[in-house]
Structure 1
C-alpha cells in the first residue's frame, strides 16, 4: 500500500477527501425527488412548460370585463377551465384559478362593493400572473451543480418535472472493531458500551449517504477484520470502520487494508483530536474511512474526511465552514490544527476529551484553531459543523 510519511494538514485533508469523492462520483441518473434530495443537479434544470402555463389569479375576487358596474354570474375555481367573459360581466374567481379570456381586471374580494341591484363595483387591477411570467418552456431555471434543496424540488415540480438529473446517494456501512465493546446495557467487567455503532450511521445519513445498520463488534483478529471489510464492501460504496487505526497489538485495520488490496488516499491528519484517521480506496473504486475508536475523534474524522467525501460523490462542492466568534481564549495544539468544541455563543465546552461525548452533545461545532496559533476572545473564526447538527444549537459547559 502507498503511505504518506507525514500527517496531512487538516484543510488539505478535507480538500483531498472531497476531490477523491468528486472524481469517483457515479454516473448521474434521473432520480425521483426523494432520492435526488441532498445531491446536486447533474444537468441544468429547465422548464418543461411555461410557468405559469396559463394566466393565474393572484387574489380571491372578481374577474371583470368592460366598464362597471358589473353583473355577477358564475365562478371559476382552481383546476377549472373557464369560458370567456363579455363586457359588463363579473365572474367570481379564486386565487390560483385560470383567468378567463376577455378579463380586463380583477377586483379583490375585500375591495368589492355590492349594489342594491346585485351589481359589483370596485378597483379593477391586473392582479394575475401572466403566462410564462416566471419562465418560458425550455428556459434554464438553475445551472448544473446546484444543490437539490426542498425549494429546488418545489420549483422542479411546478415546472413540470417528476425526476431530477442527480447523483444517487452512496450506500454506506459502518464496521465496528473491538472485543471490548458491548452493544447493550452498561459498561462492566472491563468492557465499554459501543457509542459509535448507533451514532455514526445517522451522521452518514445526514451527510448524504444511504446508511445501513452497523456491523460488529468485530473480533480482534486479522481474519475477522478482513472478512468484515469484504462483507461490508460487497454492498456499500463507503465503509466506515471504528477503531484499529493505530498500530497496536490488536489494531488490524492497516494489515487488513493491505490484505484486500486497498490504497491509502491519505493516512493520518495533523489535527487534534482525531489524528489517526485514514481514507483508503479499493481497486474497484470503493472507499474505506478509518475512524479512530475514541468517540469524539471519530466524529472529527467524519467531519474532516467523510462529509467532504460524500459531498464529492454527490457532485456537491466542498462543505463550507461556518463561523463563530470566540467568547474566550482557546489554546492551540502546536503544529496541529485544533478542533475545539464550542457552543452557539462561542464558549468552549467542558467534557471535551477525545473519549467523551457529553460536550459534543451540546455543541454547535468545532472552532478551527490553525496550526501554530491560538484563538483569542472576540476573534471571528471558522466553525466545523457536525452533519445533522445545526450550527445555531449549543448547550452550556
Structure 2
C-alpha cells in the first residue's frame, strides 16, 4: 500500500494541461488565465487628482507664504484643463480629473473658501505631490500586472476590463465522466426500495467540479455486471478527460472496477492507500493521458478523495498552486484506531479566544450527514495515535 503523500505525488506527476480557449470577459469569471496581462498604457495614464479640491503650486505656500489665489478654471473628471497654473493661480479640480500643467499639489476643498473668483486656503502644511496620483505609479505601460495562471475573480475582472481585455485566453476545463456503480444504487427521482440507496456520490463529485467552473459533466449508473461496466467505462474513456468511478474497487465478489479498467488498457498507477476513510482508492491513466479515479462507494470516502487526491490533480492541470491547510488548535481529545493517516470532519469554532476546530459527530464513512455539518476535514497523521486538546492540526476547508 502506498502512503497518502506518495499517492499525491504520483497523481500530480500525471497531470497535464487540457489546452486553452478564448472567452469573452463576461463568461470568464472563475476561470484561470492562460496568459500574462500587460498594462496597455501607464496607470494612472496622467497625474490624477485624488480629491475634490484646488490644483496649486506648492511653492506659493512653502516659499511665498500666499494664502489666497486667483481661480482660473474648473476641471471635471473626463475633461482636460486648458489653463496652465502659474504662481498666484489655481484651478478647481474634481476627483479623477487630470492635474493641469504647472500644478504640483491639490488642496482639498474642505480646507478652502471660494469667493468671487478668489480662493482662500486655510492650511498649515503642504507638500509637493499632495493628493496627486502620479502617472504610472500603479503600473507602467508594458508592465505585467496579472500573471499567467491567475484566477479571474471579480477584482481581476476589473483589471482585465480597465486594460481593454474584452477577450481573454484561459485554461480549458476538462470533460468529466462520473460512474456510480452497484446494484443497490438508484438515481435521484427513482423509487427506492429498502435494500437500495439513492446515488449521492455523483452529486458530490459534480459539485466539486462545479466549484472550479467545470460544467461539461456526464453522470451515469452501472450495475455490478462486467459487460455493462466495461461498455459504460469504454464510452466515457472515448471522450472524457477525467473519469471518476465510485464503488467496486475493494475486495468484494462484485468489485470489478480494477479488472475492467485493466481490460480497457488503463494503466494502474496505484491501488490502495494508507488512508482512512477511502483506503481502496484506485488511480491510473490511459495511453493518451486521461486520468481515472476509482473511489470507494461510501460517501465520506468520496468526499475525502475529492479533497485529498482529485483536487491536487485538477489544480495542477490548470496551473494553479496546491492548497495548503490551515494550522489550527484542536478542541477535544481523539484516539485514532488505525495505523494510517486519518481524515475526519470538523467544524470551525472559537477556541480559547482564537479560531480552532472540533470534530463533528461521525459514525463511519457511510454516515450520510456528518460532513454536511462540517467546515472541512482534519488530518490525524499515521504516527499520531492521540490528539490532545489544543494540539495544532492541519485543517482542509471544504
1:11 aligns with 2:16: no
Residue 243 of structure 2: SS of its match in structure 1?
strand
* Residues 172-197 of structure 1 deviation map (CA, whole Å, 9 limit, x = unaligned): 23222233223126743311122122
1:83 counterpart residue number: 82
Q: Residues 275 and 288 from structure 1, CA distance in 2 versus in 1: closer, same or farther, beyond 3 angstroms?
A: same
Distance (whole Å) between structure 2 residues aligned to residue 307 and residue 273 of structure 1? 17
Q: Residues 83 and 17 from structure 1, CA distance in 2 versus in 1: closer, same or farther, beyond 3 angstroms?
A: farther
Distance (whole Å) between structure 2 residues aligned to residue 121 and residue 146 of structure 1? 49
* Rg (Cα) greater in structure: 2
Cα distance, 1:252 vs. partner? 2.6
**Residues 291 and 302 of structure 1 are in contact (CA less than 8 Å); yes or no, is this contact kept in structure 2?**
no
Distance (whole Å) between structure 2 residues aligned to residue 285 and residue 14 of structure 1? 17
Count residues in correspondence. 376
Cα distance, 1:108 vs. partner? 1.2
**Residues 281 and 287 of structure 1 are in contact (CA less than 8 Å); yes or no, is this contact kept in structure 2?**
yes
Distance (whole Å) between structure 2 residues aligned to residue 269 and residue 139 of structure 1? 46
| Structure with the bigger percentage of strand | 2
* Residues 235-280 of structure 1 deviation map (CA, whole Å, 9 limit, x = unaligned): 4311222222224233232222123211123222110111111222
Scaled by the length of structure 1, what TM-score is found?
0.84
1:380 counterpart residue number: 392
Residue 350 of structure 1: SS of its match in structure 2?
coil
Cα distance, 1:348 vs. partner? 1.4
1:188 aligns with 2:222: no
Scaled by the length of structure 2, what TM-score is found?
0.83
Distance (whole Å) between structure 2 residues aligned to residue 380 and residue 288 of structure 1? 34
Distance (whole Å) between structure 2 residues aligned to residue 331 and residue 25 of structure 1? 41
* Residues 350-384 of structure 1 deviation map (CA, whole Å, 9 limit, x = unaligned): 13410113221121221111113222211101113
Residue 348 of structure 2: SS of its match in structure 1?
coil
**Residues 351 and 357 of structure 1 are in contact (CA less than 8 Å); yes or no, is this contact kept in structure 2?**
no
Distance (whole Å) between structure 2 residues aligned to residue 110 and residue 171 of structure 1? 59
Distance (whole Å) between structure 2 residues aligned to residue 154 and residue 267 of structure 1? 45
Q: Residues 302 and 103 from structure 1, CA distance in 2 versus in 1: closer, same or farther, beyond 3 angstroms?
A: same
Residue 101 of structure 2: SS of its match in structure 1?
coil
Residue 311 of structure 1: SS of its match in structure 2?
helix
- Aligned-residue CA RMSD (Å): 2.8
Distance (whole Å) between structure 1 residues aligned to residue 231 and residue 92 of structure 2? 71
Distance (whole Å) between structure 1 residues aligned to residue 297 and residue 134 of structure 2? 60
Distance (whole Å) between structure 1 residues aligned to residue 85 and residue 148 of structure 2? 47
Residue 176 of structure 2: SS of its match in structure 1?
strand
Q: Could you tell me which of 43, 47, 50 is aligned with 2:39?
A: 47
1:60 aligns with 2:52: yes
Cα distance, 1:331 vs. partner? 1.8
Structure 1 unaligned blocks of 5 or more: 1-6, 387-397
